Structure 1
Amino acid sequence: MRPLAANPDVIRIGNCSGFYGDRLSAMREMLEGGDLDVLTGDYLAELTMLILGRDRMKDASLGYAKTFVRQLEDCLELAVDKGVRIVVNAGGLNPAGLTDKLRTLADTMGVAATFAHVEGDDLAPRAGELNLGTPLTANAYLGAWGIVECLQADADVVVTGRVTDASVIVGPAAAHFGWSRTDYDQLAGAVAAGHIIECGTQATGGNYSFFTEIADLSRPGFPIAEIRRDGSSIITKHAGTGGAVSVGTVTAQLMYEIQGARYAGPDVTTRIDSVALKQEAPDRVLVSGVRGEAPPPQLKVSLNTLGGFRNEMTFVITGLDIEAKAELAQKQMESWLPVRPAELSWTLSRTDRPDAETEEQASALLRCVVRDPDPNKVGRAFSNVAVELALASYPGTTFTSMPGNGSPYGVFTAGYVDAGEVPHVAVLADGTRVSVPPAADTLQLEEVDEPTLPTPIDSRSTRHASLGAVAAARSGDKGGNANVGVWVRSDEEWQWLAHALTVDQLRMMLPETAHLTITRTVLPKLRALNFVIEGILGKGVAYQARFDPQAKGLAEWLRSRHLDIPEEFLV
């Protein structure tokens, strides 16, 4: 095996993609911006697997992230010249097909590079026998050890399908340090580092609540994890790039899309409640103290199904009598439809204000969304009826779009299968197939007992103000659920937050959650609370149950809401 890094005790891993569609130039920026040992990219998300599934329906040779091919066409020679290995999950539903395409690309370019890939995650052909139904896509989340096999066989580029997001970072670290499969603390430390950098610039100031404190956010640099032999790491970025790496930006990404104190994966369960962060220098944050446990015996499976067809029309309602106008439009629309779709829902957004200085500020939006297995029921039979109301409804009737046909929508669900039922195969550059066995030691995932809360602060004068005046937050989607992580920056603020922001208080601040199940996790080392709100996203991102279907703005809505805050924190 060629060494992955010159330093036997540190491996420097950069990231150049946080999603399918991220900054195309990031690969070149990372390769030219400074020293790296490995460059990774995360291209997959729950919604992406549905998009790739639809690509594959049209052309069986597709099913991978096509933008990665363009990046490698631009940067393969540069990466090989600099000795930087590349590990990506861009293979999606077709890692073998993408790898073949890359070999052809390298031959055409005259670049001597070796390619390997990891497969076995695609369970769609066996979905029925595994009791997973009849989904369009069914992909188990594999771990890092197939990547390790590919790197130990000296692959320059490793392509995977649906591995966990952090695995593309854990694999190079495990290969470089020769970790065993039971080095749980080291593996967990690498998972924490991987989770921090896998979403790209979200670790360097993107989507950060206190963004106004960052001097230059015009073009944030992508993050780098300098992972050490003991599993600790330094999170940083290339010198001279925009954004910032701080305890705050790193905390924000740690809180993104987590479920609780235990972060389960196929190789290790990472204890998020053990993570300690320290600002070592400007743009350098130490991540240490991470503890790991044996992984659960089952693997999570991403299941995407075509749920039917969807359409919507949005009425613009201006001026006076907004509620009455909305009631009239709804009553007319529902009575005029020739056939009622299986699902029909209305949302009135009161974006209007009284005595407005512009027409737009005087207008509210009434949104009608329909879904049905039959595309005809949600096509022109629906949208044409809305337009037919134009001269027969409330005064000023108009719409935000022309009538159109419905479009297919997807439904995401999570399945679970025993790890032994899932093949995990590393296909090396010479065609050798190496089978990777599942974890021998496993541990059922259980909830962590709530830690002792800090002593409440003394009763003091308070002011009704926005939570965001004191706290930062980050939110995201997990199937039909959303998580909201909230944290503060001082011990005294933490003494207040831990007692003030209860589940009941959250329900009051976010009325849409009133009848949903909410679970709170306390993370004292991060001065953070994490809330998982079940079912707020309906049947997943592609279902588009809310106008913010990925719950990206949910945390900022919470920060804008008011509660009683000690005045001394509001200086």
Structure 2
Amino acid sequence: MTSAGRAVRIGNCSGFYGDRLAAAREMVEGGPIDVLTGDYLAELTMLILWKAKRKDPAAGYAKTFLTQVEQVLGTCLDRGIRIVSNAGGLNSAGLAAELAALAGRLGLHPRIAHVDGDDLIHRLDELQAAGHALAHLDTGRELAEAHVRPVSANAYLGGWGITEALRADADIVVTGRVTDASLAVGPAAWWHGWRPSDADIFDKIAGAMAAGHVIECGPQATGGNYAFFEEVTDRRYPGFPIAEIAADGSSIITKHEDTGGLVSPGTVTAQLLYEIAEPAYAGPDAVAHFDTLSLEQEGVHRVRIRGTRGSPPGDQLKVALNYEGGYRNTMTLVLTGTRIEEKAAWAVEQLTELLGGPDAFAEFDTRLLRFDKPDAPNNAEATAHLRVSVKDPDRRKVGRAFSNTVMELALGGYPGFHTTTPPSAESAFGVYWPTLVPAGEVEHRVTLPDGGVRVIPHSPVTAPSPAPGVPEPAAPPPPGATRRVPLGTIAGARSGDKGGNANVGVWTRTDDEYAWLRGYLTTARLRELIPEAAPLEIRRYELPNLRAVNFVIVGILGEGVASATRPDPQAKGLGEYLRSRLADVPESLLGS
């Protein structure tokens, strides 16, 4: 690409399947960009796309992407803006064909490429026969031991297939399951002419991975879901983010002028911590060491990321499997007034009798959620909820047979009985199974605009992937008077899901605050502050360059988002819950 050495401007228009439809048009029309990207895939999304493809074999991709492309394709072709997206999901070839048909109806002629090879669903028996156990990354259990049949199995590919397609002058590149950051890595490598053999290629890729990770979730990088939301003075809907990636892999995160939200070191830090584990952020093209990068405000709504060190990737690729877990149903009982716990206990006792006991289901889960206040000023504030969830392979058990039985308490249960919904039917749920396969078992393919197919070599492995660093021992808190205040008074947090695990990244805005935080927020302390995490494995990592501590709570979401019974199945509010807990914070950090 004849870029004259300038940074490539990569704009994001989607953070998930179902995100803001107008974002593509706003990104294209709002100012100059070189590449329009959109991220549509999550672990749960692959299951949703499988269900769509089961009904219609021609489906399996994110259909909303077609709507967005229809709004901007002509302008993108006129301005030379390339479009790169993982909206292909389980059927990137089908999406490419639909895009060609759409363009024909518009009288346009874009050059379209698609990337595939990630789909391993028909090779699972072959892989296991070859000695690959497909063991669960968290539990170590081998897939054969689970006696399940996955319905989707997709390896996470890297960015070089996208690069190859762009070098073949593709106007649109759609992929299946690539890593989210690959949507930035591929275009950056194309624009700057990076090659896998470059001496410093892993540092360059690592920098692009950091930028890609920041913008992949759209406005979460520009003030959305931001802990210190009082800093966001422009409360209009946030503008979607742009990464200006330079030839050395450093970047500036920004957004179009005259859009809402905020781009600051804080908003970028929050997104860097989102859904990560150890600071060594592994990908198929490199390992990006997030504990080496630095952030610097370089202007209004402009934050530079620099210094990201990279190392070679491992010789295995992560694979996301999903299988059908059975059926589930939930009924929520409302409890009002006094003696809430006694009423809840009576309701559970009656229900277990009427339903044949908790062992009548594969899983029987009850959760008492307290919202009530004593002497409440209105009826609503005097209520609590008892959530009763059941799961079973037999859909009849958990369907109306369950929910109708719950309603038998209407005239024979605790005083004030009512429910938040009428009796409901069962719904199917899926289970996520993360695993690894050798990279050599996966063929990364790109079908170019001229119809030719090229196989993309996997990134060279010249050293083993680094082991997670051992956290330094926590320092004692500074002496002096303390005040008991919510932890969020000085600490921000962002949380999210990775299968059955949740991560909570916590950071501060000053060095003194961080010196206290890293000593205070130990694994033992986190167990106290988040009681439901107490019996679980917790992994703790420090990122001093971001003034951050990151925790991974293993298994808090059960077997994954689709099967979780907790009220916040994606752990989106877990960080804010942690910030609400009281901590003894030094007076010296709180000011007057």
TM-score (norm 1): 0.98
Match of 1:370 in 2: 390
Report how far residue 411 of structure 1 moved: 0.4
Distance in 2, Cα, partners of 1:135 & 1:443: 33
Letter of the aligned partner of 1:36 in structure 2?
I
Distance in 2, Cα, partners of 1:115 & 1:70: 17
Listed one character per residue, the Cα deviations across residues 78-106 of structure 1 (whole Å, up to 9, x for unaligned) are 11111100000000000000000000111
Corresponding position: 1:258 with 2:255: no
The counterpart of 1:154, out of the listed 169, 172, 187, is 169
Distance in 2, Cα, partners of 1:452 & 1:387: 54
Match of 2:232 in 1: 214
Letter of the aligned partner of 2:189 in structure 1?
A
Match of 2:532 in 1: 512
Distance in 2, Cα, partners of 1:351 & 1:549: 19
Quick check: 2:471–2:540 contact (8 Å CA) kept in 1?
no
Match of 2:74 in 1: 77
Report how far residue 447 of structure 1 moved: 2.9
Match of 1:94 in 2: 91
Q: Report the secondary structure of 1:309's partner residue.
A: strand
Letter of the aligned partner of 2:290 in structure 1?
I
Corresponding position: 1:548 with 2:563: no
Distance in 1, Cα, partners of 2:465 & 2:382: 52
Distance in 2, Cα, partners of 1:370 & 1:451: 40
Match of 2:309 in 1: 291
Segment of structure 1 superposing worse, 433-442 or 381-390: 433-442
Listed one character per residue, the Cα deviations across residues 505-563 of structure 1 (whole Å, up to 9, x for unaligned) are 11111111110011110111111000010000000000123110000000000000011
Match of 1:243 in 2: 261
Quick check: 1:311–1:370 contact (8 Å CA) kept in 2?
yes
Match of 1:22 in 2: 19
Report how far residue 8 of structure 1 moved: 2.7
Q: Report the secondary structure of 1:273's partner residue.
A: coil
Quick check: 2:400–2:425 contact (8 Å CA) kept in 1?
yes
Letter of the aligned partner of 1:168 in structure 2?
L
Quick check: 2:315–2:438 contact (8 Å CA) kept in 1?
yes
Match of 1:118 in 2: 115
Distance in 2, Cα, partners of 1:188 & 1:542: 31
Quick check: 2:478–2:516 contact (8 Å CA) kept in 1?
no
The counterpart of 1:460, out of the listed 469, 474, 480, is 480
Distance in 2, Cα, partners of 1:272 & 1:442: 20
Q: Which runs of 5+ in 2 are unaligned?
A: 129-133, 135-142, 144-148
Distance in 2, Cα, partners of 1:396 & 1:495: 51
Runs of 4+ with deviation above 6 angstroms: none
Report how far residue 17 of structure 1 moved: 0.5
Distance in 2, Cα, partners of 1:215 & 1:243: 7
TM-score (norm 2): 0.94
Q: Report the secondary structure of 1:129's partner residue.
A: helix
> RMSD of the alignment, in Å?
1.3
Letter of the aligned partner of 1:164 in structure 2?
T
Listed one character per residue, the Cα deviations across residues 147-199 of structure 1 (whole Å, up to 9, x for unaligned) are 01100000000000000000011000001112122510000000000000111
Listed one character per residue, the Cα deviations across residues 214-235 of structure 1 (whole Å, up to 9, x for unaligned) are 1112210011111111110111
Report how far residue 323 of structure 1 moved: 1.2
The counterpart of 1:194, out of the listed 181, 200, 212, is 212
Distance in 1, Cα, partners of 2:429 & 2:475: 49
Give runs of aligned pairs for residues 62-461 of structure 1, distance below 5 A. Answer: 62-131=59-128, 132=134, 133=143, 134-182=149-197, 183-337=201-355, 340-450=360-470, 458-461=478-481
Report how far residue 263 of structure 1 moved: 0.4
Report how far residue 568 of structure 1 moved: 2.1
How many pairs were matched up?
A: 568
Distance in 1, Cα, partners of 2:236 & 2:42: 26
Distance in 2, Cα, partners of 1:443 & 1:374: 49
Structure-2 change in CA distance of 1:455 and 1:327 (3 Å): closer
Corresponding position: 1:57 with 2:54: yes
Quick check: 1:454–1:495 contact (8 Å CA) kept in 2?
no
Letter of the aligned partner of 2:514 in structure 1?
W
Structure-2 change in CA distance of 1:408 and 1:337 (3 Å): same
Distance in 2, Cα, partners of 1:458 & 1:553: 30
Identity of aligned residues (%): 56
Quick check: 1:457–1:492 contact (8 Å CA) kept in 2?
no
Q: Which runs of 5+ in 1 are unaligned?
A: none
Report how far residue 393 of structure 1 moved: 0.6
Letter of the aligned partner of 1:66 in structure 2?
K
Structure-2 change in CA distance of 1:394 and 1:40 (3 Å): same
